[in-house]
Structure 1
Amino acid sequence: MEYVPETRQQLILCCECGTAIPPNPANMCVNCVRSMVDITEGIPKQATVHWCKNCERYLQPPATWLACDLESRELLALCLKKLRGLTKVRLIDAGFIWTEPHSRRIKIKLTIQKEVFAATILQQSFEVEYVVASMMCPDCTKVMAQNTWKAMVQVRQKVDHQRTFFYLEQLILKHNAHQDTINIKEVKGGLDFHFAQRAHAIKMVDFLASMVPTRSKTSEQLISSDIHSGTSNYKFTYSVELIPICKDDLVAMPKKAANSLGQIAPLVLCTRVGNAVHLIDPKTLQTASVTGQVFWRDETITPVCSMRDLKEFYVLDVDILGPRHGRYALADITVQRMADVGKNDNEIIVRSHLGNLLSFGDTVLGYDLMSANINNDNFESLNPDDVPSVVLVKKSYPERRRKRKQRNWRLKTLDKDEGDLAPKKQDQEKLDADFETFLRDLEEDPELRQNINLYKDTSAIERANGGMDDDNMDDDEELPEVPLEELLDDLRIGGDDDEDYDDPMAM
């Protein structure tokens, strides 16, 4: 066996302190190099960042304001740009050191390298403390001053309920279309959105037009002018009118308009309102879509009955006539008015699209055209043979069971200025009823929920899990619910926003 001699590393003595060290170009130990050379010299250990407490944005000099979360990449990049001297060293690592959010201090630990002698690189870590100073940004400064809005969008709809505005509010929240507003004011019949720039108002008008059929017009008002420079200051107003047709409305149209929509019947039912109005003939399941351009062209398509005209009927028999078409099936349904149940044998046979949704013993909402007082030119011009006795709209559920049912979800609402429009008691009750109807529509219509963010109500879920649900004690039929997998986790910072979620005073 061959003997291999043990190799030992050659050591030298540090020229300053005499410590044995491996050879290096400086012939000095690390401690002596650090004592003689400070590579952090010229880099400030304290700095100031400016923060607007109104919009919670940070100033990036010279005049850019950025929205940054605490301990985010954006905030780290902004802080590093505040340090002079970093260009002379090599930045190896940078990270936040946790501080109390209310302390108005941000601490960052930096690791840098620099060549101090020939072929000698020194690495060093140090901390930088930033003081967060409050400073109002120019946008918020204009908002705090009076009469600073440059453009206003007035949204109106000529209907006697607020369901469309509840739906529109949720669309605005989901797409964050209200981020540039400086104020949202409730007025009679709609909302007013105020903006600091005209471009933001035009963006809101385009957003509304992409969500629901609308028409708009623009007006401007001269505020001031400078004859020397030839510049003028204007305020712009955009008036946006929403289509006056809502979900579940009964719609009548002239024969010419019906023929242009694919020979559909002149009396149809509105099933959904999106960027177009979706109509269905309950007697044939034929569908059609009416865009805003078609509707506003001559305005001959008009609603004749709305949700406040719905009556309740009792289902006696369902005879399916054909295969299922989408979520509907054509059927002859025998119904009786709820007021006549147990009193007489007045039965009505209705051809409806709700064949697969109804069965014996159910209750259904519909329009009783035999007893309705309708004042509409399109309806009066219809052939009597084309007017059914009853138009069934949707399945209904016992009110007593709905009141006992607790929802495990909630909606967010816009922060609106009520102003002088304080609702009276009667108006408040009407508004609450409209909001409750909108919530029930969300529970019953999965297509309607696709465009809306629904959030988990943790307290309601805990109460439901901890208590015993007595809804099924006296009735085997289940109420429509929103599946738990469709709900979003509600992430809130602070507790002041909790009061806004279940507030029915949205519109």
Structure 2
Amino acid sequence: MNPEMFMPTQTIGSVLCCMCGVCMQPNAANMCLRCLRSRVDITEGLQKSLAIIHCPECNTYLQPPRTWVKADLESKELLTFCIKRLKNMNLVRLVHAEFVWTEPHSKRIKVRLKIQKEALHGVILEQTYIVEYTQQEHMCDPCTRIQANPDQWIANVQLRQHVSHRRTFFHLEQLILKHGASLKAINIKEMHQGIDFFFGNRSHAVKFVEFLGNVVPIKKREDKQLVSQDKKSNSYNYKYTLSVVICPICRQDLICLPPKVSVNLGNLGPIVLCTKVTNNILLLDPHTLRSAFIDANQYWRAPFNTLLHSRQLVEYIVHDVFEHDYKSEVKVGNTKYLSAFVELSRVSDFGKNDIMFTVRTHLGHLLSPGDHALGYDLHGANSNDVEVGKYKNLSFPDVILVKKCYEETLQEKGEGKMDVMKNHKDGGRKDDEYDKFLDDLEANPEMRFNLSLYDGSKEYQPSDDDDRSMSEMIADLDLNDYDDDEEAVVDHDGGRRTGNKMEE
């Protein structure tokens, strides 16, 4: 038999509440929970409302006496800032904290706090209450100085590229937005062949120039001008100007390498194509499929210009593709190249003459009879490049193909560009260049991988195996998505809002 059957069982007795007479389990105060809460308020002495100072220009909050904390609405940083501003929180134990949704323009921030505290005779009570913060707008000292005098800058970065197009600046703009490199800039002005960035601190300008050097090949120079001085305290105030020049070589440019550069690269070229530009320049020989990288230091020691640029591309139609050399297939980065012979003719020659060209190309794996391609017409080009005259026995091919294109897409985009030209007479050229930049993004997954594409409310981060077009990406965007890691807070109207929470 089990001996536990004969052991006496312990039962918890019940007592009557000394206030209302309700039967309850005994506790140290001999009062029920309702009566205990009515007589004891553990939130007594804690702040229920508070005013905080907010700078609308830089979106920061004042942490007395002079520290400004940057925080977004309903962020963990703002929640921590709000809790630290409360006094006498060391008298209670904070269990839970979360935002209560309010209208963003109401200038009110509400935080729901759950606290615990020892009440009568060691009884621990738990209570929830709401703290309301009134947001008062007041600009911080740096923003006040900038608003009073927009030209009050300390350092100026003059970014220039001496080319006839702005495709590099369109690409650079996306990189700056993605990485937030210009957040410290107090002013940005568009200048001829470049952009000027103004900073309130020299260190911010130097950091920005370092970012530019990591994404494009540049040459920099720094100058300073004395503004004022105090000989007694030996203090000087300077204004700094950082001049940055971007390499004029761009993607898809045709280049004739100088003899010295060609020898240093293992007799590459001398006629080469630029296939990629980052902080290095990737050059490809379209006939031998050899490639080489040139960094910024190598380029500026022996600079060279382009023979033909992307605005001089001519559209061709492919009639036949033959003699594929599969042994010569190479992969440069994420792009494959295959040597083949192509028979083609200019689209503009249809109905006028029967001129045909047979050339070797590196796009043998992409082209087939009937396709359209863009290339450089060296047969009818008139070049005055100095480097060409240094090669006595150099023979130019009639055509150098650059990329494959699609006739229907070109016609559709051509109609759209005509409408842009009609609506924007002064800015039509810039809009046309921006359309070409978008075309390059759509046709080049490797170039698109390094950028963040935006469609109003959601950011798209491409993956390694992403070969979709830009229109397909935008079509896949869902405006109703929200982060599953954030807790949903339901307001009084039943609407769903998201907010961060913090628990101990």
Equivalent pairs counted in the alignment come to 454
Task: Map 1:59-70 onto structure 2 (within 5 A).
Answer: 59-70=62-73
Q: Identity over the aligned pairs, expressed in percent? A: 44
Deviation of 1:53 (Å): 1.6
Are 1:336 and 2:340 an aligned pair? Answer: no
Which amino acid is the alignment partner of residue 346 of structure 1?
Answer: I
Unmatched 5+ residue regions in structure 1? 407-423, 459-479, 493-507
- Cα distance in 2, alignment partners of residues 117 and 446 from structure 1: 69
Residue 31 of structure 1 deviates from its aligned partner by: 4.2
Determine which of 394, 398, 405 is the counterpart of 2:403. 394
Tell me what 1:201 maps to: 205
Alignment counterpart, residue 482 of structure 1, candidates 463, 467, 470: 470
| Residues 1:57 and 2:41 are matched in the alignment | no
Corresponding residue for residue 494 of structure 2:
none
Structure 2 match to 1:370: 379
Q: Give the Å deviation of 1:282.
A: 0.9
Segment drifting more, 304-313 vs 339-348: 339-348
What do the CA deviations read for 1:402-451 (whole angstroms, capped 9, x no partner)?
Answer: 34689xxxxxxxxxxxxxxxxx9765232122112111111111111111
Correspondences of 1:92-491 after superposition (within 5 Å): 92-146=95-149, 147-299=151-303, 301-323=304-326, 324-326=329-331, 327-398=336-407, 399-403=410-414, 428-456=427-455, 481-482=469-470, 484-485=472-473, 489=477
Deviation readout 1:130-150 (Å, 9 max, x if unpaired): 111111122322321213211
Unpaired stretches in structure 2, ≥5 consecutive residues? 418-422, 458-467, 481-504
1:437-469 superposed Cα distances (whole Å, 9 cap, x missing partner): 1111111111111111223489xxxxxxxxxxx
Over 3 Å counting, the alpha-carbon distance change for 1:258 and 1:119 in structure 2 is: same
The 1:175–1:61 alpha-carbon spacing in structure 2 relative to 1, beyond 3 Å, is same
* Residue pair 2:255, 2:308 contacting (<8 A) in 1 also: yes
Q: Give TM-score, length-normalised by structure 2.
A: 0.83
Q: CA deviation at 1:318?
A: 1.3
Alignment-mate amino acid for residue 348 of structure 2: A
Residue 231 of structure 1 aligns with an amino acid whose one-letter code is S
Instruction: Give the SS at the match of 1:87.
Output: helix
TM-score where L is the length of structure 1: 0.82
Please tell me whether the aligned partners of residues 261 and 302 of structure 2 are also in contact (alpha carbons under 8 angstroms).
no
**How far apart, in 1, do the equivalents of 2:322 and 2:186 lie?**
56
State the alpha-carbon separation in 2 of the partners of residues 237 and 448 from structure 1: 32
Quickly say closer, same or farther: Cα 1:336–1:12, change in 2 above 3 A. closer
**Residues 29-74 of structure 1: per-residue CA shift (max 9 Å, x gap):** 3344444433222211111111112222222233332332322222
- SS in structure 2 of the partner of residue 248 of structure 1: coil
The residue type equivalent to 2:405 in the other structure is S
**Which residue of the partner structure matches residue 466 of structure 1?**
none
Aligned to 1:502: none
The CA RMSD measured in Å over matched residues stands at 2.9
Q: For residue 197 of structure 1, what is the amino acid of its counterpart?
A: N
Shift of 1:489: 4.6
The whole-number CA distance in structure 1 between the counterparts of 2:426 and 2:432 is 10
Give the SS at the match of 2:214: helix
Q: CA deviation at 1:245?
A: 0.5
Residues 259 and 390 in structure 2, CA contact (< 8 A), matched pair in contact too: no
